A and B are shown apart, each in its own frame.
Chain A
């Protein structure tokens, strides 16, 4: 479960990074970002990758977690890059959805471990 959260957070993080790059904004959003949005995404991207790493470490410890995380990061970047040329408009909503579902997974895992 947390493995999936690791992957989803990484995907969301990459969507934010991708969106903060000027060349990808027109194809994904059909417009340029405002300065404020740009700033938010610049923070959001590393935050997503950081959350992904944190979830991997929580799930498997820092040794195995680090290896898992690198795997998840590669897979997330690959899926975004392959989705981008074919369904550019889907990438951003998918990123938001991934962040949400990842958060829910992590929250439910935390609740289960408390009980």
Chain B
């Protein structure tokens, strides 16, 4: 680590990038997919219908809950929106005396999925849907949640280190702003591609890494909270105020019509959308209805809520206005999640995030490209080189292949299978691990071409698998005007095509056999 400041930064960039690169690539890929979390969930629950407006089934949800849990402590109703076609309801049974208030509402058995159009109960296949990619991208898998979050946070921290040191290392950030030379030497082209994907989407990369760390800052840096609050509970109570619990009076009273309450809430927000409805003490004279605003309405993720009297339907209170720090935190969270984004901006997010995947991937490849020329014997590279090379191939082709494998498993595993959703998740790692194994068993070039081709096939064949096994297919999406599912299938084709293109490039690539002569030839060409 001797030498100038820039050299030490280059060293830092190279090695943090390499060591954390593979996990970061998986985090970036699954995070990219998460911009379409509701669509992925919809795709993975083919039994559910098209999206609907929030008011469509409010009555049906209440009717269902009144039937199955009339004496519940509370009900929770997540309304459908323009991206989700189901109403998810859950309920919390009355607690026995002396029992603690649970910190998180347990879901477990006390839940149901209702069709947004008809209000009927939908028996969807057991799947974690897009939720898995979302969870994986900040807490990984096969390890305790807290440990996974620390691992992901460590990777994100070093991502930030790699971004800052990378900008310092890049000597010609403005001069080479528009520079991409695909026909020059391998090292030149890969470096250009790495710079291109990094510099042009730099605002996104810096934002997403920083705000990603901010979303979990309470875990990584608890000291500010510890110094100012007596307990975690006191902190959470102030940041996320919860309405206080009122005991049941025992006097029965019918619930005010929910559509009316939703209408009032929407008016109070100047046309904002209700999203989650919490009803406490349903059927009792003390019933309260808390309506939380849709997270897609505002830049800040914390939309605020309104509380209504459950019997008269009159508005009682509004969640307190958030302070500046809370608003800043909410805005950073919101920026990271991109929930506020309209479809056009959501595609920007998706593309910029894909550029992030490409940045990590090109960086990883660059490590081997740079060192290949200096190998004493190119036929027999040293162990470290071979290890990096195989992990690169197995991860860059393996993560997309694994993610596609999950969608395959979603369509092919028997609907009644026990532990179905867990096996869908296992498929991700079987796919990824399989690709790493494949990469270790084959010569470099063949490994690249074969694993990338396999990944391309796994991704691009998904619309056909879906058409053969379920009611969901391209033609039907087109006929019914289900643009989200149509776009989903077309995106799979496009991503499969992209992987196939990479495989084709890898197959066609001719390594410079005699570097000296090639360099001389290049010098003759006009620059």
Q: Please state if B348 and A68 are interface contacts (CB–CB under 8 Å).
A: yes
Q: Using a CB-CB cutoff of 8 Å, which residues 12-46 of chain A contact chain B?
A: 14, 18, 21, 23-24
B352 and A74 form a contact (CB under 8 A) = yes
Given the interface pairs A64-B299, A74-B348, the reply to whether A80 lies near B178 with Cβ below 8 Å is yes
Judge whether A78 and B178 touch: CB under 8 Å: no
A112 within 8 A of B: no
Shortest Cβ distance from residue A94 to the other chain B in the assembled complex, whole angstroms: 14
Measured in the bound complex, the distance between the Cα atoms of B351 and A81 in whole Å is: 15
**Could you tell me the dominant secondary structure of chain B's interface residues?**
loop
Stretch from B143-151, B200-208, B220-228, B449-457 forming part of the interface with A: B200-208
Contact call B345/A81, Cβ cutoff below 8 A:
no
A95–chain B nearest beta-carbon distance, Å: 12
From DSSP, what is the main secondary structure of chain A's interface residues?
Answer: helix
Cross-interface CB contact of A71 among B182, B196, B299, B349, cutoff 8 Å: B349
Residue of B nearest to A72 (CB): B348
Tell me whether A109 is interfacial, beta carbon within 8 Å: no
List, in ascending order, chain B residues with CB within 8 A of A85's CB: 180-183
Contact residues in A for B183 (Cβ distance below 8 Å): 85
- For the complex of A and B, the 4 pairs showing the least CB-CB separation, nearest first, are A71-B348, A77-B200, A18-B178, A81-B178
Instruction: Determine if B269 is an interface residue (Cβ-Cβ < 8 Å).
Output: no
Query: In the complex, what residues of B have CB within 8 A of residue A74's CB?
Result: 200-201, 203-204, 348, 352, 355
Question: How far apart sit A68 and B351, CA to CA, in the bound complex (Å)?
Answer: 13
A75 within 8 A of B: yes
The reply to whether A70 and B344 contact each other, CB–CB distance below 8 Å, is no
Q: Report how far A32 CA is from B35 CA in the complex, Å.
A: 44
Partner of B178, one of A21, A68, A71: A21
Q: A74-B200, A78-B196, A85-B182 are in contact. List 17 more A-B contacts (CB 8 A).
A: A3-B344, A67-B299, A67-B335, A67-B345, A68-B344, A71-B204, A71-B349, A74-B352, A75-B351, A78-B201, A80-B178, A81-B180, A81-B200, A82-B180, A85-B180, A85-B183, A86-B182
Within 8 A of A (CB), among B181-208: 181-183, 196, 200-201, 203-204
**A63-B299, A74-B201 known; A84+B345 contact, CB < 8 A:** no
B517 within 8 A of A: no
Shortest Cβ gap from A43 to chain B (Å):
18
Give chain B residues whose Cβ lies under 8 Å from the Cβ of A72.
348
A41-97 contacts to B, CB under 8 A, are 63-64, 67-68, 70-75, 77-78, 80-82, 84-86
Q: Which residues of B contact A70 (CB under 8 A)?
A: 203-204
- Taking the closest CB of chain A, its distance from the CB of B505, in whole angstroms, is 14
Summed over the interface, the residue pairs from A and B with CB atoms below 8 Å come to a total of: 60
Q: How far is the CA of A21 from the CA of B335 in the complex (A)?
A: 34
Contact residues in B for A81 (Cβ distance below 8 Å): 177-180, 196, 200
Q: For this complex, into which size category does the number of interface residues on chain B fall? A: 20 to 34
Assembly CA distance A57 to B106 (angstroms)? 43
- Could you tell me if A71 and B200 are in contact, using CB atoms closer than 8 angstroms? no
Q: Which residues of B lie under 8 Å from residue A80 when comparing CB positions? A: 178
- A residues in contact with B180, CB < 8 Å: 81-82, 84-85
Instruction: List the B residue with the shortest CB-CB distance to A22.
Output: B175
Inter-subunit contact B177/A77 (CB<8 Å): yes
A63 to B299, CA, bound (A): 8
Does B340 interact with chain A (Cβ within 8 Å)? Answer: yes
Q: How far is the CA of A23 from the CA of B177 in the complex (A)?
A: 11
Binary contact track B295-329/A, C-beta < 8 Å → 1, others 0: 00001000000000000000000000000000000
Complex CA–CA separation, A72 to B201 (angstroms):
11
The minimal Cβ–Cβ distance linking A106 to chain B, given in whole angstroms, is: 16
CA distance A110 to B200 in the complex (A): 31
Q: Of all chain A residues, which has the CB nearest B300?
A: A63
What is the chain B residue whose CB lies nearest that of A79? Answer: B200
B447 to chain A, nearest CB (A): 27
- Known contacts A14-B178, A78-B196; decide if A68 and B355 are in contact (CB<8 Å): no
A68 to B, closest residue via Cβ? B345
Q: A11: shortest Cβ distance to chain B, in Å?
A: 12
Name 12 A/B residue pairs within 8 A (Cβ), A-sorted. Answer: A14-B178, A18-B178, A24-B178, A64-B345, A67-B335, A72-B348, A73-B203, A74-B203, A84-B178, A84-B179, A84-B180, A85-B182
In the complex, chain B residues whose CB is within 8 Å of the CB of A64: 299, 340, 345
Q: For the complex, give the distance between the alpha carbons of A30 and B351 in Å.
A: 33
Which residues of A sit under 8 angstroms from B178, Cβ to Cβ? 14, 18, 21, 24, 77, 80-81, 84
Q: Could you tell me the distance in whole angstroms from the C-beta of B142 to the nearest C-beta in chain A? A: 35
* Whole-angstrom distance between the Cβ of A67 and the nearest chain B Cβ: 7
Residues 460-495 of chain B: 1 if any A CB is under 8 Å from the residue's CB, otherwise 0?
Answer: 000000000000000000000000000000000000
A85 vs B335: C-alpha distance in the bound complex, in angstroms?
33
Which B residue's beta carbon lies closest to that of A24? B178
- Which residues of B from 412 to 458 have beta carbons under 8 Å from A? none
By beta carbon, the residue of chain A nearest B182 is A85
- Are A78 and B348 in contact (CB-based, < 8 A)? no
Bound CA span A84–B181, Å: 9
| Minimum Cβ distance to chain A for residue B221 (Å) | 26
CB–CB B200/A78 < 8 A: yes
A70 CA to B183 CA, complexed, in Å? 30
A68 to B335, CA, bound (A): 11
- Tell me the bound Cα distance from A80 to B352 in angstroms: 15
Kindly provide the distance from the CB of B122 to the nearest chain A CB, expressed in whole angstroms. 34
**A78 CB, nearest partner CB in chain B, Å:** 5
CB of B205 to closest CB in A, whole Å: 10
B364 to chain A, nearest CB (A): 20
**Most chain-A CB neighbours within 10 Å: which of B179, B182, B183, B335?**
B179
Q: How far is the CA of A14 from the CA of B200 in the complex (A)?
A: 12
Q: Which residues of A contact B182 (CB under 8 A)?
A: 85-86
Assembled-state Cα–Cα distance A3/B348 (Å): 11
Complex Cα gap A80–B177 (Å): 10
Which of chain A's residues has its CB closest to B347's CB? A71
Cβ of A59 to closest chain B Cβ, rounded Å: 10
